[in-house]
Amino acid sequence: MNRRMILNTVGKMLLAEGLFLLLPALTALIYGEAKGLIALLITVGIALLSGGMMCGLAKPKSAVIYAKEGFFIVSASWILLSLVGALPFTISGEIPNYIDAVFETVSGLTTTGASILTDVEAMSHGMLFWRSFTHWIGGMGVLVFVMAILPNVSERSIHILRAEAPGPVVGKLVPRLKDTARLLYVIYIALTALLTVLLLAGGMSPFDSLIHAFGTAGTGGFGVRADSIASYSPYLQWVITVFMLIFGVNFNLYYLILVRRFKTALKSSEFWAYVTIVLLATGGVAVSIWGQYGSAEETVRHAAFQVSSIVTTTGFATTDFNLWPQFAKGILLLLMFIGGCAGATAGGFKVSRIVILFKQIRRELQKMLHPRSVKTLRFEGHQLEEQTTRGVLSYLALYLICFLVIFLFVSADSFGDFETHFSSTASCFNNVGPGFAGVGPTANFASYSLLSKLVLSAGMLLGRLEIIPLLIFFSPSSWKK
Amino acid sequence: MKIIVVGCGKIGTALIESLIAEGHELVAVDRSPAVLENVTNIYDVMSACGNGTDWDLLTEINTEDADLFIAVTDSDELNMLSCFLAKRLGAKHTVARIRNPEHNDGSLDFLRNQLELSLVINPERLVARELYNMLKLPSAARVETFSGRGLEMIELKLKNESILDGVSLIELRKKYPYKFLIGMVQREDEVFIPDGNFRLKSGDKISVIATSAEIQKFLKSVGLLQKQVRSVMILGASDTAYYLTKMLLNSGNSVKVLDKNEERCRVFSQSLPGAIVLCGDGAQQELLLEEGLEETDAFVALTGMVEQNVLVSYFAASHKVPKVISKVNRDEFSPLAEQLGLESVVSPRKTVANILVRYARALENSLDSSVETLYKLVNGKAEALEFIVHEDAAVCHVPLKDLALKDNILIAGITRNRKSVIPSGADEILPGDKVLILAAGYRINNLSDILE
């Protein structure tokens, strides 16, 4: 195992985090928040120093890495990123307990948006900015960012991209990995900027616009108000609805549109499955909640917003959907598990995997009727490798096992009932944010015990990195020589 | 440049490896997903799975933007067709591997013109040419020729107790008043361009540059000249063997070819009746001895199996065959083979990669010069390049001793009006010259790259 290369890359990632932290520090400076500024600058120092030391001391002899190193780099990076990212909250005293701060940071980086804060509005601007900025960083992936800006990390960085980027198949947009990473970030930044402008145009304050743009782009869900998006105008709610959906689509599609290959873009079966799911779910919810709100527009707006928010695993809310009828809540719970498209910033099981699963099931059924039939599966215009289908099936098993184990741990908590535990596990594991009952959109995760918070943090990381990198990182056999 | 490579076999991956190292953008196409997965794991390339003649696939990978399209699958016809399609789709330059002897006669020019191919590569013939050069000068481990045919570069390994051991280059020049140059020395894993005070040591590999007549004189006076090869034994009746045998027969050698496969032997003897074709297992030592291994001047192992080539070559060398060459398809085995004491090893992968790297560099060449020949030496750590100098090049009309060259760069030869000289400090480069440059540790794209 190329340990030096692992340390070196993780060090580079810490340097990147140090640079990212300068932005909230600037915010704290603008708003004159001395305490926050000091806390952030101390963390910048820690990140730059430790990152610099790791890069300086571990000069790799060779840049050759394999799949295993890729998993290790990604796991170690995300864990360190969370531990360092939590420091400002504790140092400034705004989240005194470090475990709470870690939960909040993991929730940010994994774009979950579950919070332990009982009073968001009391937080300083610098901390709020950092909290939401972690969404934006974590959404596209911090290692993808490192690849985009640094001169050749390794010729085999594809292993890092595969480990960090969500979805069953990870491909490049253009021949060079570095250019692919850059393109992804360019699209990401452009869409975020567009959203910010649209929010500003709707009368949102510049600070709020940025926060909500970060929360939407990363499909995270941290906001600045206790009632999330509920008190903003209908225009703003519609804008956020549309953009949540946009960020839930595979970014490859935007690249195809960028290079004017509209036909290929429109042929994406994952995209159409995603659209169908959103439309059906919105319809179902609207019917279920009909009559609860004043006008038809309001009903459809709330239905569409909540559906988009949950399916893209963002977690914003315009109304307390915990008070909705069981059927509507049932649909939302289902959407949590589906999640967005692969190659987007969204979490969950991913629409592409579900499409592949259904194709596989149909083939199995056909095999029952015609035992000798031979059928190859096709997905997005290409033949599906058996390896990919098998990968999806084993991922499903792994996903269910992990879910149940986390659920079991959380159930041991003295706080809350079955609905709370089940929905909080589903919500954290799928990187959504709010759940139902005790962790509904108006409540928060503060009442959970520290152990449960740690377990849920681990669940969020497992969900974001799609289990396998962390599983390999923590299994003793992969550390043996 | 954007380059598409169709076919990721041995040659294809060698091309990908060296073109990536040159900094190009690559797209790899192959029919097997497993092969592609391996390629994308190792190299930073994009991959597309499918047939290189599939229009959908070619449009999907934006063939119209490609600067260079290279088809090196094992099927000549597929290569030709996909190059043709790529050209029609708008690829700027196309390169096809065409290796079947049937296509490699008079019809080759016709095919190339009709298909608008920029370059045709025939790895088997290139390797055969290299082997032929090595057999022509059996004293050298390798022989590289340059376009003017005036200068040659040979690689010599100084054996133990060589009379050159401990001699400095200044003394060498006084002792042997021929026009030659020791351009490069490889000692263990290091490569350098030596200066006058450099002392040679046993075990060094040295590259000597001179005209071929001067090389003969030099080798003779240092006692390294071996007698001309007259009879050659070849193991494996492959395409490479076909081309090599043809060249050897044309220059009056006697050739014996051994192969296990009866059908292949028959085809071989039909097309080259002058050769003695033997059907038998080359791994059988008895057979080799019976057929006069000990009397033959040179033994060349050309089977598709590296292991067999290396082992049988080793056997031949232990029977004091003066010149033994083995073909090693896998680059990682070349150093091993050399450690076993086999001096002369050819690698088809390297030969083809050299040609295409040169071609790609020539395509993106600037105004002051264009690359005519390129050899990568010592696992790519050093290069020998031949440039044609254009008007206005910065190096022109300046005495060489006044040029501010980078370290480890050497101007090793100038060819003007078909006459090649090893330059001295007072010589100048003029437009239209062909200049031979040696560089250790650099990538030289233009002639101006050699200046500080």
pLDDT tens digits, one per residue of B170-188:
888 888 888 888 888 888 7
A175/B43 CB distance under 8 A? no
For residue A12, what is the enclosing H or E element? helix A3-30
Cα pseudo-dihedral B303, B308, B311, B313, rounded to 10: -10
B49/A157 CB distance under 8 A? no
CA distance B215 to B199: 20
Dihedral sign from CA coordinates of A53, A56, A59, A63:
positive
Out of B42, B46, B49, closest to residue A175 by CB: B46
CA distance B377 to B184: 10
Give how far Cα B273 sits from Cα of B231, B254, B257, B261, B276, Å. Answer: 16, 12, 12, 17, 8
* Between A209 and A414, residue with greater pLDDT: A209
Angle between helices A67-85 and A450-464 (to 10 degrees): 140
- pLDDT number for residue A152: 62
Report yes or no: A170 at the B interface, CB cutoff 8 Å. Answer: no
Out of B40, B44, B62, closest to residue A176 by CB: B44
Helix extents (H) in A92-205: 98-109, 125-140, 142-149, 158-164, 177-201
B46/A157 CB distance under 8 A? no
Interface test mutation site (partner A, options B17, B41, B57, max chain A beta carbons within 10 A): B41
Out of B20, B33, B46, closest to residue A172 by CB: B46
Residue B61's contacts (CB-CB under 8 Å, 6 or more residues apart) are B4, B27, B29, B46, B48
Report yes or no: A156 at the B interface, CB cutoff 8 Å. Answer: yes
Report yes or no: B137 at the A interface, CB cutoff 8 Å. Answer: no
Give how far Cα A40 sits from Cα of A34, A85, A131, Å. Answer: 10, 9, 12
Q: Tokens 């598990």 correspond to what residue?
A: A337
Measured in degrees and rounded to the nearest 5, phi and psi for residue B166 equal: 80, 5
Helix extents (H) in A339-385: 351-369
Is there a contact between A188 and A217 (Cβ–Cβ < 8 Å)?
Answer: yes
The rounded percent of chain A whose pLDDT value lies above 90 is 76
Whether B367 shows a pLDDT value over 70: the answer reads: no
- pLDDT number for residue B335: 75
- pLDDT number for residue B338: 76
Report yes or no: A267 at the B interface, CB cutoff 8 Å. Answer: no
**What digits encode the pLDDT tens for the residues B75-105?**
999 999 999 999 999 999 999 999 888 887 7
Residue in B with minimal Cα distance to A154:
B44
Report yes or no: B22 at the A interface, CB cutoff 8 Å. Answer: no
Look up the ipTM and state it: 0.82
Is there a contact between A308 and A278 (Cβ–Cβ < 8 Å)?
Answer: yes
Residue in A with minimal Cα distance to B61:
A174
Whether B405 shows a pLDDT value over 80: the answer reads: yes
Q: How do strand B205-211 and strand B181-187 relate by DSSP bridges?
A: antiparallel
A156/B27 CB distance under 8 A? no
B44/A156 CB distance under 8 A? yes
A475: DSSP letter: -
Is there a contact between B146 and B373 (Cβ–Cβ < 8 Å)?
Answer: yes
Out of B41, B42, B45, closest to residue A175 by CB: B45
How far apart are the CA of A81 and the nearest CA of chain B, in angstroms? 26
Whether A197 shows a pLDDT value over 90: the answer reads: yes
Is there a contact between A177 and A158 (Cβ–Cβ < 8 Å)?
Answer: yes
Q: How many CB pairs under 8 A join A and B?
A: 35
Report yes or no: B20 at the A interface, CB cutoff 8 Å. Answer: yes
A177/B44 CB distance under 8 A? yes
- Please choose, from the candidates B278, B280, B338, B328, the residue with its C-alpha nearest in 3D space to the C-alpha of residue B307: B328
Average pLDDT of every residue of chain A: 92
Residue B141's contacts (CB-CB under 8 Å, 6 or more residues apart) are B134, B154, B155, B156, B157, B205, B343, B344
Is there a contact between A121 and A231 (Cβ–Cβ < 8 Å)?
Answer: no
Whether B356 shows a pLDDT value over 70: the answer reads: yes
CA distance A251 to A261: 14
Q: What residue ranges define each of the domains in chain B, with the CATH number in brackets?
A: 2-121 (3.40.50.720), 128-221 (3.30.70.1450), 231-346 (3.40.50.720), 351-450 (3.30.70.1450)
- pLDDT number for residue A222: 93
Report yes or no: A386 at the B interface, CB cutoff 8 Å. Answer: no
A480: DSSP letter: -
Angle between helices A67-85 and A3-30 (to 10 degrees): 30
Paired strand residues for B205: B157, B186
Residue B341's CB: how many other CB atoms inside 10 A?
11
Mean predicted confidence (pLDDT) in A222-242: 93
Whether A42 shows a pLDDT value over 70: the answer reads: yes
CA distance B234 to B313: 11
Minimum mean pLDDT among A322-326, B244-248, B304-308: which range? B304-308
Residue A103's CB: how many other CB atoms inside 10 A?
29
Report yes or no: B48 at the A interface, CB cutoff 8 Å. Answer: no
Compute chain B's Rg from CA coordinates: 23
Q: How do strand B254-259 and strand B231-235 relate by DSSP bridges?
A: parallel
Q: How confident is the model at residue B148 (pLDDT cuts 50, 70, 90)?
A: low
Exposure of B1 by Cβ count < 10 A (0-12 exposed, 13-18 middle, 19+ buried)?
middle
Minimum mean pLDDT among A57-71, A119-133, B329-343: which range? B329-343
Report yes or no: A157 at the B interface, CB cutoff 8 Å. Answer: yes
How far apart are the CA of A322 and the nearest CA of chain B, in angstroms? 47
- pLDDT number for residue A78: 96
Minimum mean pLDDT among A195-199, A200-204, B156-160: which range? B156-160
A156/B42 CB distance under 8 A? yes
Contacts of A65 in chain B (CB under 8 A): none
- Please choose, from the candidates A134, A141, A35, A126, the residue with its C-alpha nearest in 3D space to the C-alpha of residue A84: A134
Report yes or no: A158 at the B interface, CB cutoff 8 Å. Answer: yes
